[in-house]
């Protein structure tokens, strides 16, 4: 089915006018039989009808086939007047719409001017605020320079303190590493024993599983011959399973005991480390006390040396006097 053309619409309008009918979109579609919008949509027919109206308005006449009855001419004249009235009405509606658009544009322009004025005022206020902030920033920069000098002084003092603390911390860490190494060695020894025991338990469980598999294989071969033997073997399997379960339970219990021992060992190691730290601090305190005692003894020794020097001088003086007296005698 071909699409509707301008010629089809032109012929439909002329035929409807000759029949005394108004060439509306629906009447044109009914005349053309274009119920399928893919062939003749309302938009297509409207476009061709408007094109027909424009040509009629330009030519001021309609080329109709002759002969034309007087009744048809009267109907055409009436429809022509209706079309002109409809066109005038459409023009009035479009004109009112355009005037409304112009009014809205004027209102939008006035609102834009008001917004621009308010924006300029806000920009001026922000410029003043920026000047105030710049002055405050200059004051804060001067204050920051003073604070920076103080911070540098504090950093120097802190660096000296840090070096002293670092020396003390190094000595403490050396002692702590020694205790930690001892605890790690003990923990490694216990872990090795635990691993060996677990491997032994796993070997026992594997042996049990192998035995169960052998018994199951034996059952498959002897099931058809002896039901009593099958019951006995099933009992052996159950016993083996129970033994394996018991072995597994004992292994788990032993593992839990070893885990508890490891936990106790970790706590003991932590306690030993804490005690070592206390001993270390006590040793430092004793060293400081010994240092003070040594300083006191050194002062006493210095004073004694001074007294001995004085006594030596007195003895030398007495010896000199005694020698002079001997010479005189």
| Residue-level pLDDT at 35 | 58
| Residue-level pLDDT at 10 | 94
Per-residue pLDDT of the chain (329 residues; tens, 9 = 90+): 578 899 999 999 999 998 888 999 999 999 988 655 545 688 999 999 999 999 887 875 555 444 455 565 566 666 666 666 765 676 577 667 667 756 775 776 788 688 868 878 887 888 787 788 778 767 777 776 776 777 587 578 758 867 875 677 677 578 768 767 885 787 678 568 868 876 887 888 588 688 758 867 875 776 677 677 678 868 887 887 888 789 888 878 887 887 888 788 788 878 887 887 888 789 888 888 988 998 898 899 899 889 888 988 998 888 888 888 778 77
| Residue-level pLDDT at 50 | 94
The distance of Cα 21 from the centroid of its chain, to the nearest Å, equals: 74
Round to whole Å and give the CA distance between 88 and 93. 9
Question: Is residue 34 within 8 Å of 4, Cβ to Cβ?
Answer: yes
Among 185, 183, 162, 181, CA closest to 173: 181
DSSP string, 178-221: HHHHHHHHHHHHHHHHHHHHHHHHHHHHHHHHHHHHHHHHHHHH
Q: What are phi and psi of 65, to 5 degrees?
A: -70, 145
Domain boundaries of the chain, sorted by first residue: 6-114, 143-328
What is the model's pTM?
Answer: 0.24
Q: Residue 28, class by beta-carbon neighbours within 10 Å (0-12 exposed, 13-18 middle, 19+ buried)?
A: buried
SS3 of residue 156 by DSSP: helix
Cβ-Cβ contacts under 8 Å for 280 (sequence gap 6 or more): 172, 175
């Amino acid at each position: 089915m071909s699409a509707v053309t301008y010629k089809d619409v032109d012929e439909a309008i002329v035929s409807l006018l000759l029949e005394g009918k108004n060439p509306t979109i629906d009447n044109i579609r009914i005349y053309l039989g274009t119920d399928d919008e893919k062939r003749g949509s309302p938009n297509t027919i409207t476009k061709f009808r408007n094109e027909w109206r424009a040509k009629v308005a330009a030519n001021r006449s309609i080329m109709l086939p002759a002969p034309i009855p007087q009744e048809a001419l009267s109907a055409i004249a009436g429809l022509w007047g209706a079309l002109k009235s409809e066109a005038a009405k459409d023009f009035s509606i479009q004109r009112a719409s355009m005037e409304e658009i112009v009014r809205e544009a004027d209102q939008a322009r006035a609102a834009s001017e008001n917004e621009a004025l308010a924006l300029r005022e806000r920009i001026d206020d922000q410029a003043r605020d920026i000047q105030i902030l710049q002055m405050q920033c200059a004051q804060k920069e001067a204050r920051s320079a003073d604070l920076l000098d103080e911070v540098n002084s504090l950093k120097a003092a802190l660096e000296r303190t840090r070096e002293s603390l670092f020396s003390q911390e190094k000595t403490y860490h050396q002692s702590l590493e020694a205790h930690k190494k001892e605890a790690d060695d003990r923990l490694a020894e216990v872990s090795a024993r635990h691993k060996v025991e677990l491997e032994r338990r796993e070997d026992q469980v594997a042996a049990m599983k192998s035995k169960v598999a052998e018994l199951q294989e034996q059952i498959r071969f002897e099931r058809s011959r002896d039901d009593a033997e099958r019951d006995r073997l099933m009992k052996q399997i159950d016993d083996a399973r129970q033994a394996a379960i018991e072995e597994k339970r004992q292994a788990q219990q032993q593992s839990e005991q070893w885990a508890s021992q490891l936990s106790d060992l970790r706590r003991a190691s932590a306690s030993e480390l804490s005690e070592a730290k206390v001993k270390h601090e006590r040793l430092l305190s004793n060293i400081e006390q010994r240092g003070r005692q040594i300083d006191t003894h050194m002062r006493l020794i210095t004073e004694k040396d001074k007294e001995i020097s004085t006594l030596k001088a007195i003895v030398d003086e007495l010896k000199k006097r005694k020698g002079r007296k001997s010479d005189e005698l």
